[in-house]
Structure 1
C-alpha cells in the first residue's frame, strides 16, 4: 500500500524495509522509550519485525503509521499517523483509530509531531471519513500531552493500561 502526504516540512509515506536504520535509531534510544514502558529494542531484527508488523497493518486494515521524512534533509525522523488498534483493550475500547507519533530524539522540539499530527487528523476525517479519533499518552509525558491538545484532541480521562502497568491519558476528537 502506498501513502504519500506532505506538510510544509515533512513527507509522510508508508514505512518500508529500507527504513530499518532509522527505525533502529528511534526505538533503541532509552529516552525515546521513557514513557513507553522503558523497553527499547536491542537489535535491528526487532526493528525489522516492527516494520513488518506495520506493513501487515497496511495490508489487513488499510492504514498504519507513516514514515516521517524531513524534506530539507531527506532523513527518516520517525513515524506519525493513524492506526486501527485491534490488539489491546485500551480504556475499555478494543477497536479504535488512534493518532500517534514517535520521533528520533535529535528531531524533538521542532514542531514535527504537531505538524504531522494535524495532517493525520485531517486525513482521518477528510479521507477516511472516521467519526472520531483517539489519542493516548503516558501520564507524565507533558510534551505529548501538549501535542495532542494542539492538534485538536481533548483530554477525556486517565486510566491504567493493565497489560503494561502504565498510567495513561485518553484523548478524543470527533469529526464535526
Structure 2
C-alpha cells in the first residue's frame, strides 16, 4: 500500500472515487488542456484515473492525486511516469497538471519536489526527465524551479501528434547527482 507523500500544504496520494468529478472537470477545461491536443471526455478521464490508480497499486509510485491539506480538495496530479519510448527510452518523467483554481499558489513546484525526492531517495533513479510543448512556459518555469535543465539537442517533434501545432517539444533533465547538489 502506498504511503502518501506529504509537503507542508499538500498530500500526494492514491486515486479515490471521490476524485472522478474534479479530475474530469479539470481535464474538460480548455485552459487547463491548452497545451494538449484536446480536452478529455468523461470516459477518457475515468479511464485515465483507472490507469493511474492501477500503476500506483502495482509499483507504489506514479502520477498521484494532489490533495490540498487545508481544504481536502483535489488540486490535480503530480508525480512520476515511465517516459514513452518516443524519447529518452527507459527514463522516468516527472509531471504535473493542476485545476485552474489552484494555479499561482506554488503547488506544482512543491509537489514536484516531493516527486523528485521520491524518485531519487526512494526509487534511487539515476535521472528524471520532463517534457512539454515549446510554448508551455508555465511548465517550463516549474521544470527550471525544480533544477531540471534543457539541452536543445534533446528537443523533438512529438510523433504521436504530427499535425498538431504543439508537436514541437522540449525535454528537460535532472540527474541524481545534480538533485543532491541542489539547495534545500
> Fold match, TM over 0.5?
yes
Partner SS, residue 77 of structure 2 = strand
CA deviations on 1:59-114 (whole Å, 9 max, x unpaired) are: 444421001011111100100011123xx3333x3322010000001111111001
How many residue pairs are counted as aligned between the two chains?
171
Structure 2 gaps of 5+ residues are: 178-184
Q: Which runs of 5+ in 1 are unaligned?
A: none
Tell me by how many angstroms 1:159 deviates.
1.1
What residue is the counterpart of 1:169 in the other structure?
A: 170
5 Å-filtered alignment, 1:71-110, equals 71-85=69-83, 88-91=84-87, 93-110=88-105
Partner deviation per Cα, 1:98-138 (whole Å, 9 max, x = no partner): 10000001111111001101111111100110010001111
Which structure has more helix as a fraction of its residues? Answer: 2
User: 1-side partners of 2:5 and 2:62: how far apart?
Assistant: 14
2:58 is aligned with 1:63: no
Greater mean deviation of Cα atoms: 146-155 or 60-69: 60-69
Deviates more, 1:72-81 or 1:55-64: 55-64
SS for the counterpart of 2:13 is strand
SS in 2 for 1:22: helix
**Aligned-CA RMSD value:** 1.4
